[in-house]
Structure 1
Amino acid sequence: MDDKQTPNNEVPQLDGQLCFSLYSTSLAMSKLYRKLLRKLGLTYSQYLVLMVLWEQNELTVSEIGERLFLDSATLTPLLKRMEQAELLTRIRAASDERQVIISLTEAGSLLREDAKKFPSQLLCAVGCELDQVVSIKQQLDVLRSNLNKNT
């Protein structure tokens, strides 16, 4: 046990908490992304939606939500704003009008080229070797999966 961890009968120390390390790291990563995405006129949430659609265009709202771990109540207003910004279209499925199909517009597709620079910029900013970043990401994926099983 290091000096930041505490026995069960003591008050937990902030710097010894996994949740705080994840939270503060997420804040730092978000700050970096805000700087990069400002040039494209995007929020981080919008960027994530675009990434999903760059991988596979024409998805339902629920399919996008599954990929991003977001419910439709959170996702729908975001998608409406992106439609107003002419980054995507939302069209009711002919086979089932309850489903809305999300598709990229030309403007949304073109942003992919600008975003291709991000991985190298992020790797430089994190100050780790690529294999370290890959390992950290894999560990976080396992952690997220385990946490999702318990929620």
Structure 2
Amino acid sequence: MKSTDQSSTATPPLSDFLCFAVYSANLAFGKAYKSILDQLGLTYPQYITIIALWEEEDQTVSGLGEKLFLASNTLTPILKKLEAMGYVDRQRDAEDERQVRVSLTKSGRRLREKGMTMNLVEATGLSPDEFAKVQRAIVMLRNNLIESVQSEE
């Protein structure tokens, strides 16, 4: 007689996958930020690039890419678009011409005044303590995954 209990070999439902929870939460963040970003004429990757430059002005492209977890071939088109929009300047480093340095223009710095300081902490429905715990847990998860992949290489 065949057993009908397949729980030990069955694939768990999609909703039980942590990777799907993170992925779908990322999609939800994108939708929540959409109206803010549409008003500014920016995409989410452009938004986080500007924020990283507010945090530290005049960075190398490679340093900025590390901070944003973006490869150069992904970051360069973002920077070119932001430069065309008048928000950033890209220049070869005077001491090492292999390096390209990125800095904000006056227009890029003024984006803060246009609403780029808006965030969605309240929209998460989390208390300040819960928000901080979730943020730390996700950072730890990301770092552990990166370390795991690097140790396999």
Query: Aligned to 1:126, which of 109, 121, 124?
Result: 124
Residue 72 (structure 1) aligns with: 72
Q: Which has the higher contact order (CA 8 A, sep 6+)?
A: 2
TM-score, L = length of structure 1 = 0.90
**Superimposed CA distance per residue, residues 60-100 of structure 1 (whole angstroms, 9 cap, x where no aligned partner):** 00010010011111101110011000000000111111110
Structure 1 residue 34, shift from structure 2 partner: 1.7
Residue number in structure 1 paired with 2:59: 59
CA distance in 2, matches of 1:98, 1:57: 19
Partner residue in 1 for 2:3: none
Of 100-109 and 9-18, the range deviating more from structure 2 = 9-18
Ranges in structure 1 where 5+ consecutive residues have no aligned partner: 1-5
Secondary structure of the equivalent of 1:89?
strand
Q: What does residue 31 of structure 1 align with? A: 31
Shift of 1:7: 4.7
- 1:88-126 per-position Cα deviation (integer Å, ceiling 9, x unaligned): 00001111111101010010000123222x13xx12211
Moved over 4 A (4+): none
Q: TM-score, normalised by structure 2?
A: 0.89
Partner of residue 137, structure 2: 139
Residues matched between the structures, number:
143
Matching residue of 1:15: 15
8 Å contact from structure 1 (residues 15, 21) kept in 2:
yes
By how many angstroms is 1:50 displaced? Answer: 0.5
The 3-state SS of whatever aligns with 1:102 is: strand
Residue 115 (structure 1) aligns with: 116
% identical equivalent positions: 43
CA distance in 2, matches of 1:8, 1:41: 50
> What is the correspondence of 1:75-114 to structure 2 with a 5 Å cutoff?
75-113=75-113, 114=115
